Amino acid sequence: MLRSLTVVAMVAYVVVVYAIVVVGGGALVGETGAPELWLSVLATAVVAITFEPMRADISRWLARVLRRDRMTPYQVLAQFRQTATDAYPAAELPVRMARVLAEGTGAAAAQVWLTVRGRLELAAIWPAHHADEGGLAATSLEAASVGAPAVGPIEAADAPAVVVEGSRRSVAVRERGELLGALAVVVRDGQELTPVEERLFAGLAGQSALMFRVAGLRAGLEQELVAVRRRTGELRAARRDLVERQDAERQRLERNIHDGAQQQVIALLVNLRLIQTLLGRSPERGARLLGQQVAAARESVDTLTALSSGLYPPMLTQAGPVAALSAAVTDGPIPVELVSSRLPRCPSDVEAAVYFSCLEAVQNAGKHSGAAAVRIEIDGRFGPGGAGEIDVTVADDGRGFDVDERTGSGLLNIRDRIESVRGTVSITSVPGRGTTIRSWIPTASIDIVAHRT
């Protein structure tokens, strides 16, 4: 609207100049017929010389006229403060701030940016239908985050600097040096903010720290809530998957026991009863058959040992987690390098947590990451009394993943095992650069019986 009114006013100005110079000047010199050429040239020169200054003056005058129906700067400040004290829902604060800012400065659009978890994010834009063409430019964000000397005082307050970039104006909102967010406006074409509006813009930023603090905390809590809901869903899915896997494993064990060890034990029992009968009738035949049952009994023991090896390996009880891991990963689908310092024997629950968490991590790498190699490092640090810490690291060179977006049942199992012995787990993964799982397990005073691998 301002541009259209300016064009109309300038057309009228040119017509008036020509009328005064050509018609009026001709009348003064007694020329009432066709306009003299030199008068037309003079009128053109006057218009050319005065056009730009006159356009600027008319544009400023029209802008002041159009602004008369807007609030005064101090009314805007008062309404901005009222927004903070009124009982509005916290979610509406950024929108109301953007609206007051746009209406108070007459900008085409206003934006409110909040610092959420260390990043500036667009929280509101007014009017809502205004397209966000890239938001604040990168240079504006950098300048806003650094800060600069104040533009000028508003009610003796020290206002932050307004950063100018094209049609955009941005200003940082800080509290005790902490960047809480930023305000930004997009000025209308052909219109500039007056010095008073510049100071108003900076003053709003200087007095909005409390609102930004509240809005930023709420936005952060909402993100945390979304993350908790996502992780809760993943945990439920993982637990459901764990139950299904346990049921499937029970069925597998039941089938293997029924088809293998149970049949062997039944056959052994039948033969022993037959031997009991034969000993009274044919001692030689009974003795020969009894000797054959030694091999059958040994075969049954071997079958039961094979069935139980996947549940709790005897080597873990006999030699500890390092030796058990070395035996378990030797013939695995991917090469595993195991590096261990002198590690004493620890309580059985600690050793089981180390063994099964490492085994789970190796199996995850083989199933999901496409890793070519895995490295396991186990380091024990203990004081004179045996109290200390076990540091376990499992790293692969696979595809990696976004830890914030996906946490499978395998990783949850690892975390559950380590946390069950008061340990902590750190999972670091970068897409395309592999995954590292590091665990720290504290140990109480123990009898150190060191062993090497």
Give residue limits of the domains in the chain.
2-67, 73-207, 221-309, 314-443
Strand partners, 395: 375, 436
**Is a pLDDT exceeding 90 seen at residue 438?**
yes
What pLDDT score does 29 carry?
Answer: 60
What pLDDT score does 82 carry?
Answer: 63
In this structure, what token pair is assigned to residue 19?
């009328």
Instruction: Specify the fold of 73-207.
Output: Beta-Lactamase (3.30.450)
Select the more confidently predicted residue: 67 or 422.
422
- What totals of helices (H) and strands (E) does the chain contain, helices first? 14, 10
Residue type, 282: S
**Is a pLDDT exceeding 70 seen at residue 407?**
no
Mean pLDDT of 391-406: 84
**Is a pLDDT exceeding 50 seen at residue 54?**
yes
Instruction: Specify the fold of 314-443.
Output: Heat Shock Protein 90 (3.30.565)
Half-sphere exposure of 334 (CA within 13 A, CB side): 22
Mean pLDDT of 367-396: 83
Q: What is the DSSP string of 78-110?
A: HHHHHHHHS---GGGHHHHHHHHHHHHHT-SEE
**Is a pLDDT exceeding 50 seen at residue 417?**
yes
Q: Which distant-in-sequence residues (6+ apart) come within 8 Å of 292 by Cβ?
A: 271
**Is a pLDDT exceeding 90 seen at residue 221?**
no
**Is a pLDDT exceeding 50 seen at residue 142?**
no
Q: What is the CA radius of gyration of the chain?
A: 41
What pLDDT score does 430 carry?
Answer: 84
Of 40-54, 66-80, 201-215, 225-239, minimum mean pLDDT range: 66-80
**Is a pLDDT exceeding 50 seen at residue 5?**
yes
What pLDDT score does 378 carry?
Answer: 92
> Do 73-207 and 314-443 agree at the fold level?
no
Whole-angstrom Cα distance, residue 345 to residue 350? 9
Mean pLDDT of 343-354: 85
Whole-angstrom Cα distance, residue 123 to residue 48? 48
Of 80-84, 98-102, 236-240, 311-315, minimum mean pLDDT range: 80-84
Whole-angstrom Cα distance, residue 67 to residue 106? 8
**Is a pLDDT exceeding 50 seen at residue 307?**
yes
**Is a pLDDT exceeding 80 seen at residue 433?**
yes
**Residue among 130, 127, 6, 14 at smallest CA distance from 63:** 6
pTM, to two decimals: 0.41
**Is a pLDDT exceeding 60 seen at residue 7?**
yes
Task: Please state, rounded to an integer, the average pLDDT across all residues of the chain.
Answer: 74
Name the pLDDT band for 439 (thresholds 50, 70, 90): very high
**Is a pLDDT exceeding 90 seen at residue 109?**
no
What pLDDT score does 451 carry?
Answer: 38
In terms of DSSP bridges, do strands 119-126 and 109-116 run parallel, antiparallel, or are they unpaired? antiparallel
What pLDDT score does 72 carry?
Answer: 56
Please answer whether residues 403 and 430 qualify as being in contact, where contact means their C-beta atoms are separated by less than 8 angstroms: no
**Is a pLDDT exceeding 80 seen at residue 104?**
no
DSSP summary character for residue 424: E
How many percent of the chain have pLDDT more than 70? 71
In this structure, what token pair is assigned to residue 222?
């909402």
Whole-angstrom Cα distance, residue 407 to residue 401? 9
In terms of DSSP bridges, do strands 336-340 and 374-382 run parallel, antiparallel, or are they unpaired? parallel
**Is a pLDDT exceeding 90 seen at residue 394?**
yes
At CB < 8 A and 24+ separation, what contacts does 350-353 make?
350/390, 350/421, 350/441, 350/443, 351/316, 351/320, 351/321, 352/312, 352/316, 352/321, 352/417, 353/417, 353/418, 353/420, 353/421, 353/423, 353/441
Name the pLDDT band for 436 (thresholds 50, 70, 90): very high
Select the more confidently predicted residue: 376 or 167.
376
Mean pLDDT of 180-192: 78
At CB < 8 A and 24+ separation, what contacts does 331-335 make?
332/362, 332/366, 333/366, 334/362, 334/365, 334/366, 334/371, 334/372, 334/373, 334/374, 335/372, 335/373, 335/374
- Helix, strand, or coil here: 72? coil
Neighbours of 215 (CB within 10 A): 25
What pLDDT score does 448 carry?
Answer: 42
Torsions phi, psi for 158 (to 5 deg): -85, 110
Whole-angstrom Cα distance, residue 200 to residue 193? 10
At CB < 8 A and 24+ separation, what contacts does 315-319 make?
316/351, 316/352, 316/355, 317/348, 319/451
Mean pLDDT of 236-265: 73
